[in-house]
């Protein structure tokens, strides 16, 4: 006696690249890992984190699917701020004045790179909406 097996749907590989969620998770993990490591070893953020922000912006635009440009532009600054705040609480403890000073100093140290990567990402987002 034979039984019929159900046909599995074919996986379409026509859409290549990362989805919106994939881009967001990948950028958050990369920024988080590098930021936390630099805070632990160097006791502050600097050029390594700044380059990671730029790499995340470029990689998100390059490897994301069409329609994921907004996520590529919005995720790196939010991920950096969230990871930085959480890492400073883990490292410094709950001292509001020290966390505040370290947070502002860390944002100021990577500000040019953060602005450049955000400008590149937003430029690609608006370019994709136009055409």
48-79 residue pLDDT tens:
999 999 999 999 989 988 888 899 899 999 99
3-state secondary structure the chain: CCCCCCCCCCCCCCCCCECHHHHHHHHHHHHHHHHHHHHHHHCCCCHHHHHHHHHHHHHHHHHECCCCHHHHHHHHHHHHHHHHHHHHHHHHCCCHHHHHHHHHHHHHHHHHHHHHHHHHHHHHHHHHHHC
Q: Where are the domains of the chain?
A: 20-130
pLDDT (tens digit, 9 = 90+) per residue, 7-55? 777 666 567 888 889 999 999 999 999 999 998 899 889 899 999 999 9
pLDDT (tens digit, 9 = 90+) per residue, 97-124? 889 999 999 999 999 999 999 999 999 9
- pTM for this model (two decimals): 0.81
């Amino acid at each position: 006696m034979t039984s019929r097996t159900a046909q599995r749907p074919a996986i379409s590989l026509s859409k290549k690249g990362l989805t919106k969620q994939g881009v967001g998770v990948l950028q958050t993990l990369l920024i988080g890992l590098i930021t936390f490591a630099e805070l632990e070893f160097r006791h502050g953020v600097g050029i390594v984190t700044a380059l990671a922000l730029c790499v995340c912006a470029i990689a998100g635009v390059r490897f994301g699917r069409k329609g994921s440009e907004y996520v590529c532009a919005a995720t790196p600054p939010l991920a950096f701020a969230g990871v930085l705040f959480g890492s400073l609480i883990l490292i410094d403890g709950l001292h509001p004045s020290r966390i505040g000073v370290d947070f502002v100093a860390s944002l100021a140290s990577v500000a040019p790179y953060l602005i450049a990567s955000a400008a590149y990402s937003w430029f690609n987002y608006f370019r994709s909406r136009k055409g």
